[in-house]
Structure 1
Amino acid sequence: MATSPTTTGRSRTPLGAQLLRRKPLEQLTDESLTESGEGGLKRTLGMWQLTMISVGATLGTGIFVILGTAVPLAGPAVWIAFAVAGLAALLSALSYAEMASSVPVSGSSYSYSYATMGEGVAWVCGWCLVLEYGVSVAAVAVGAGQYVNETLGVFGLALPPALANPIGLDGGFFNLPAAALVIVAMLLLVRGAKESAWVNTVMVAIKVIVLLIFVFIAFTAFTTQNFEPLAPMGAAGVAAASSRLFFSYIGFDAASTAGDEAKNPQKDLPRAIILSMVIVTVVYILVAVAAIGALPWTEFNDGEAAFVRILTDITGQPALALMFSVGAVIAIASVVLTVYYGQTRILFRMSRDGMVPKIFGRVRPSTGTPVAGTVIVGTIIAIVAAFIPLGELADATSIGTLFAFALVNLSVIYLRRARPELPRSYKVPFFPVVPILGIVMCLGLMVTLGGTTWMVFGLWMVVGVALYFAYGRKHSIVGAMSENDYVNAATAATPVIMKEHK
């Protein structure tokens, strides 16, 4: 690993120049290859495991409740809204796929921004990802108490309110299921990426099977009359529902955080990102069509209740509510595991760049995982999930996510112009139309978010800027390079080609 810039004795790069310094692609790739040996992350993940990481992070509890908020907007055309939202998300997913093939390292959009737009934008992007991943894990875990109680309720049991909710929410004090879920995920991630990926694959399979069982049962009571009229609120209703449903696709970028642990990142990461989007979109549309076909759209007011009602009316078995409660708990567990994983890998890459403390980049050789960083992140998230009702704070993750998506689309445009000779196993079709549309979509959705969300995001950015000047500015590896060393690294002719690690 490179020597800390604080010990080099070199003069610090002027602030303006440092903020604009891009991390040379060859340096990124060389570090990834070097670190995959002793002292770095282990390359153990294949294409299918990477796909399940993205599906696990995307296909969460939202599908159990999302219909209740989208159907009143779009009516029976909600399945079209899912398709439109999936297409909008695919614009950014295609850009992620190209960047993953061009810059096949961990760190997701943080690394991509560092290679294309410089340290200043990379820090902002990384700080957004810390918000997106960290708060998302805590926010999702908070819902565990509710679903655990619904599962126990089938057997006439229940956790006391004080142990099922955070402080100030329905008599809560300590959300025990949320904290326990994060701790279990932490223990799995400490053991190794391969073991965690295997557990996640099993959980993803279970929640997909639960949804497919619902689809099968709902289609036995399917009637086409429920789709007349198809779009009672017109195109405007479908558009409004699509904007809301877009956020149910967030998470597909999780595979891009695993660049240093993929066996063949240049080929497998693009395939995993695109395949995960296809799987999630197909599942969403199937569930929406089956639900509307079995229950008139005017009777939807709560997604999960609608699911249970459909199953109960068709089968006469109220116990099927247990199936969906268990499915929801598994969905929560899968999201917590995969998003938590992404958080630790982003901090790992930022640490290796000197942007955050070294402890987040230390890897235990026996497991090939950043144990200390995983424990620190897990402890903080468990405490937040157990005690704090996040509420609207969770919405701030949407801005961070959309901002990161926009930067990745912009990175594709920059890299195509600046490095046309760069080896790419995948290229965005219809360039530059697709990445430009991706940017427009992300910025448009950011504008629609509420004032409170923007306020929280602004405060988060102020804290991030302060931390950059307090630590990142002083410890940046790229910022500590002499002008000659930086120019030599930036103009290196070594082709960026990753070899498969077995």
Structure 2
Amino acid sequence: MYDPDISLSPPLADGAPLATRRKPSLGLGALLAVAIGLVVSQGVMVLMLQGAGIAGLGFLIPLALAFLLALTYICSFSELALMIPRAGSLSSYTEVALGHFPAILATFSGYVVVAMFALSAELLLLDLIVGEVYPGLLPPMSVAFGVLVLFTLLNLLGIDIFARLQSVLALVMVVVLLALGLTAMTESGSQPALTQALTHDWNPLGAGVLTLVALAIWGFVGAEFVCPLVEEAREPERSIPWSMMLGAGVIFITIALYAIGALFYVPQDELAGAALPHYLFATALLGEGGKVFLVIAATAATCSTLNTSLAAIPRMLYGMAVNGQAFPQFKRLSQRTNTPWVAVLFVALITGAPVLLMGDRPDAINLLLLAAAIAWLLAYIICHLDVIALRRRYPELTRPFKTPFYPLPQLLGIAGMLVSIYYVSPAPEMTASIFTSAGLVLGLVALIAVLWIKLVMRKPLFTPEPLDQVLARK
């Protein structure tokens, strides 16, 4: 059985075993901050307002459906994380359920590729907002790269620094978004509210609003980033599932109030077509003071997302390296802080590369975010398949968390994710670019995975590893 008071970290870079076992330092509050902190990002602030602009109050329908889909993946990840409590997270679960190729594909598509797309979009958005509010103050891209370097250094210092930062950032971000939504809904902004804001047809799209579930689900992806931290969580049987469920609930309420509030102050067509709709909302609601307010919100959102990713994704790569599924250099740990420093630097590098290549381009942001959504949804489908496969292979195994009404959540989750991928593009002219970008990167990942498994690991692509061997790894 898993002992929550024992860290399962493997040897340090020089091959020597750890001299001591660190007591887990992350409680429910810190993990809740992680679940909220990665999800409510600037990308979410943009896409949710664009969805509200397209569908008006009817956007609450796909938002609620996306929330239910999020609960399905939360159930699957909770069951898997407590059954196989390893830093490798999805890679460790999938190699036991489906084999090494799906394990590598799922982890790289859902997290490493997403870091390339979504984190780059976050940094671009922050740079654009600062440039819009304070034109000419700083050179282009200086804010993006400055924040990336700062949080890379902070995460190299260790998990305790990460936890203290994340709790503060998540709290600031949620408070700011709730303040915007509630201020707008009480019509207490510095500018007059739109008198006709919510008086016309509340759902102009009719049944067509269901196609926006793919856009709405972006507001809920990422809560599972608590799972790679399972080895550093106190009382993981309680804190892992509850942090994700509570986080999803907080996110749903926050986004709903934020989106409804925006409809009071910004015309729908402007929200739908703007590259920076959160900028329009803040300035319409609060006037010039809204610009400063928005910079605070944008900074908190981007820093929170970046901070969570730089903590969780390197630990996934670390776990994959322990499993033999990634370069062994990712196993290198700092002797002072026990941080996977090579993996942290790698994630920082792939995050900064698209920013450097694309530069200050507002049109690139939605492309990056929606391409990331495809990769992430693919990972969720594999996660649901993992639960089904492991229930069949190990029916008698003790599971600290069992999905209620199994297998209904998994089947609904798979169907919902597939439909969301099909409708991921909100505009026909974007469809080809989104699927091409995602397809090229995922195709390259798949090719590398096949070569790695066959030539380096020398194992079959789809033969699952025995569970006892994975649990015995140190």
The TM-score bracket by the shorter chain reads 0.7 to 0.9
CA displacement, residues 39-67 of structure 1 (integer Å, 9 cap, x when unaligned): 89953222221121121110011343334
Shift of the 229–394 alpha-carbon distance from structure 1 to 2, 3 Å rule, reads: closer
Residue of structure 2 equivalent to 1:122: 103
Give yes or no for the alignment of 1:441 onto 2:416.
yes
Residue of structure 2 equivalent to 1:308: 282
Residues 100, 270 of structure 1: 8 Å contact kept: no
Residue of structure 2 equivalent to 1:266: 237
Give me the CA root mean square deviation.
Answer: 3.3
Letter of the structure 2 residue corresponding to residue 286 of structure 1: L
Residue of structure 1 equivalent to 2:14: none
Shift of the 195–186 alpha-carbon distance from structure 1 to 2, 3 Å rule, reads: same
For structure 1, which runs of at least 5 residues remain unmatched after alignment?
1-25, 165-174, 498-502
Residue of structure 1 equivalent to 2:262: 291
Letter of the structure 1 residue corresponding to residue 98 of structure 2: M
Residue of structure 2 equivalent to 1:13: none
Give yes or no for the alignment of 1:137 onto 2:107.
no
Letter of the structure 2 residue corresponding to residue 52 of structure 1: A
Letter of the structure 2 residue corresponding to residue 71 of structure 1: A
Residue of structure 1 equivalent to 2:428: none
After TM superposition, the score normalised by the length of structure 2 is 0.83
Residue of structure 2 equivalent to 1:78: 59
Give yes or no for the alignment of 1:339 onto 2:318.
no
CA distance in structure 1 between the partners assigned to 2:440 and 2:115 by the alignment:
17
**Residue among 379, 390, 407 paired with 1:432:** 407
Between the two proteins, what is the percent identity of the paired residues?
A: 23
CA distance in structure 2 between the partners assigned to 1:362 and 1:241 by the alignment:
43
Residues 207, 331 of structure 1: 8 Å contact kept: yes
CA distance in structure 2 between the partners assigned to 1:74 and 1:40 by the alignment:
56
Shift of the 144–362 alpha-carbon distance from structure 1 to 2, 3 Å rule, reads: same
**Residue among 206, 215, 233 paired with 2:172:** 206
For structure 2, which runs of at least 5 residues remain unmatched after alignment?
12-16, 425-430
Give yes or no for the alignment of 1:61 onto 2:50.
no
Map 1:47-446 onto structure 2 (within 5 A). Answer: 47-128=28-109, 129-153=111-135, 158-159=137-138, 163-164=139-140, 175-221=141-187, 226-293=197-264, 297=268, 300-301=271-272, 302=274, 303-312=277-286, 317-389=287-359, 391=364, 392-446=367-421
Indicate the SS of the match to 2:41: coil
CA distance in structure 2 between the partners assigned to 1:320 and 1:103 by the alignment:
46
Indicate the SS of the match to 2:381: helix
CA displacement, residues 466-487 of structure 1 (integer Å, 9 cap, x when unaligned): 43354443443977xxx9xx99
CA distance in structure 1 between the partners assigned to 2:468 and 2:444 by the alignment:
34
Offset at 1:146? Answer: 1.0
CA distance in structure 2 between the partners assigned to 1:457 and 1:215 by the alignment:
33
CA displacement, residues 336-389 of structure 1 (integer Å, 9 cap, x when unaligned): 111232221111111111122111111113101011221233234334423434
Aligned pair count reads: 443
CA displacement, residues 284-340 of structure 1 (integer Å, 9 cap, x when unaligned): 11222333355665664442244224423xxxx422221112211221111111123
Q: Which moved more, 1:386-395 or 1:279-288?
A: 386-395
Shift of the 430–310 alpha-carbon distance from structure 1 to 2, 3 Å rule, reads: farther
Residues 150, 322 of structure 1: 8 Å contact kept: no
Residues 73, 237 of structure 1: 8 Å contact kept: no
After TM superposition, the score normalised by the length of structure 1 is 0.79
Letter of the structure 1 residue corresponding to residue 282 of structure 2: V
Letter of the structure 1 residue corresponding to residue 338 of structure 2: G
Indicate the SS of the match to 2:25: coil
Offset at 1:281? Answer: 0.8
Map 1:5-24 onto structure 2 (within 5 A). Answer: none
Offset at 1:279? Answer: 1.1
**Residue among 26, 34, 39 paired with 1:45:** 26
Q: Which moved more, 1:390-399 or 1:267-276?
A: 390-399
